């Protein structure tokens, strides 16, 4: 059995290259709706972690607006975030702000939202990470061997530096244990964030890495090669227990 970098079983890996960013967004949103539909044929409660970033936000928007949501049992759908910036509700810095209206609409239809608390709700980023970990814990998603449940799909935007969620190359948060980590001194602003740990990401059934644009090509190439250079790229380290999918547009695929 193949194992991921945290020792979890690692399933199959596939690379899907789309002709352009628009097609990548539309196909990934449809793929996500169908993945939830498939998962709901096995389990009622299905857990998805969305991602921010340029293409990730567009995927979230397209997914939340998709007609395919009509096929889902929204009362069994849980929406988490792979990471969130430590900023107040409604701040332009937050990953969930661009889709706040769509998320509220889905919550009215019964979906369960799991936003990360910002400074308007908790004292500091450590408290936000703890509260998010408690919420994951309540869903049985604890990281490590104790997990009784797993995220079904984790979407991760790949940064130009190879970061995923708020796990940056060479940053201490990359080695954090538990299910969430409070990130200080993020090299990309804002400096304070909350991220899922590699353990929870690697425990997910499916991990989907999104790459769009030429500025991602080098990180994608190194990530796909499992590059062990220094610093190690976070995108090279993560995997899902059933499947790891690299969902790219032509520009990001580069030579891949």
Ligand X SMILES: O=C1O[C@H](COP(=O)(O)O)[C@@H](O)[C@H](O)[C@H]1O
The answer to whether residues 191 and 201 touch, using CB atoms and an 8 Å cutoff, is no
The CA distance from 101 to 85, in Å, is: 18
The residue (of 72 and 132) whose beta carbon lies closer to ligand X is 132
Q: How far is the CB of 164 from ligand X (least distance, A)?
A: 7
Rounded least distance, CB 163 to ligand X, Å: 6
CB of 239 to ligand X, least distance (A): 17
Number of residues that bind ligand X (CB under 6 A): 15
By CB under 6 A, residue 240 contacts ligand X: no
- DSSP, res 3: B
Q: 107 phi and psi, to 5 degrees?
A: -65, -40
Among 4, 157, 169, 223, binds ligand X (CB under 6 A): 157
CB of 32 to ligand X, least distance (A): 15
Query: Whose Cβ is closer to ligand X: residue 140's or residue 190's?
Result: 190
Please state, in angstroms and as integers, the Cα–Cα distance from residue 192 to each residue in 164, 167, 185, 221, following that order.
15, 12, 6, 28
Least gap, CB of 76 to ligand X (angstroms)? 25
199 binds ligand X (CB under 6 A): no
Report if residue 223 touches ligand X, rule: CB under 6 A.
no
Alpha carbon dihedral 207, 102, 211, 8, in 10-degree steps, equals: -10
Buried b (16+ CB within 10 A) or exposed e, 106-142: beeeebbebbbbbbeebeebebbbbbbbebbbebebb
Instruction: Name the region of 12 (left: φ>0; alpha: ψ -120 to 50; beta: rest).
Output: beta
Stretch of 5-13, 98-106, 135-143, 158-166 contacting ligand X, by CB under 6 A = 158-166
Is 187 among the residues that bind ligand X (CB under 6 A)? no
Residue 116 DSSP symbol: P
**166 makes contact with ligand X (CB under 6 A):** yes
135-154: contacts with ligand X (CB under 6 A): none
**Residue 169 in the binding site for ligand X (CB under 6 A):** no
**Does residue 203 bind ligand X (CB under 6 A)?**
no
DSSP structural state of residue 104: H
Cβ of residue 81: shortest distance to ligand X, in angstroms?
Answer: 8
Give the shortest CB-183-to-ligand X separation in angstroms.
Answer: 10
User: Can residue 114 be called a binding residue for ligand X (CB under 6 A)?
Assistant: no
- Comparing CA positions, the residue from 174, 172, 169 lying closest to residue 159 is 169
**According to CB under 6 A, which one of 52, 143, 162, 203 is a site residue for ligand X?**
52
Residues in the chain: 256
- Provide the binding-site residues for ligand X, judged by CB under 6 A: 51-56, 82-83, 95, 157, 159-160, 165-166, 188
């Amino acid at each position: 059995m193949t194992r991921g970098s945290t020792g979890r079983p690692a399933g199959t890996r596939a690379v899907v290259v789309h002709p352009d960013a628009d097609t990548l967004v539309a196909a990934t949103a449809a793929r996500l709706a169908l993945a939830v539909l498939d998962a709901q044929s096995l389990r009622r409660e299905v857990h998805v972690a969305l991602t921010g970033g340029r293409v990730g936000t567009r995927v979230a928007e397209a997914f939340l607006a998709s007609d395919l949501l009509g096929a889902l049992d929204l009362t069994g759908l849980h929406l988490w975030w792979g990471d969130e910036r430590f900023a107040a509700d409604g701040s332009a810095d937050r990953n969930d702000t661009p889709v706040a209206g769509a998320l509220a609409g889905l919550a009215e239809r019964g979906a369960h939202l799991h936003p990360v608390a910002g400074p308007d709700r908790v004292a500091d980023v450590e408290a936000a990470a703890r509260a998010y970990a408690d919420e994951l814990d309540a869903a049985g998603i604890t990281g490590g061997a104790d997990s009784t449940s797993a995220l079904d799909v984790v979407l991760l935007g790949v940064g130009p530096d190879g970061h995923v969620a708020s796990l940056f190359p060479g940053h201490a948060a990359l080695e954090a244990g538990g299910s969430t980590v409070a990130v200080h001194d993020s090299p990309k602003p804002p400096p304070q964030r909350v991220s899922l740990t590699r353990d929870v990401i690697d425990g997910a059934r499916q991990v989907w890495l999104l790459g769009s644009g030429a500025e991602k090509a080098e990180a994608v190439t190194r990530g796909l090669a499992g590059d062990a250079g220094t610093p190690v790229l976070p995108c090279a380290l993560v995997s899902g227990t059933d499947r790891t999918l690299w969902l790219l547009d032509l520009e990001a695929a580069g030579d891949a």
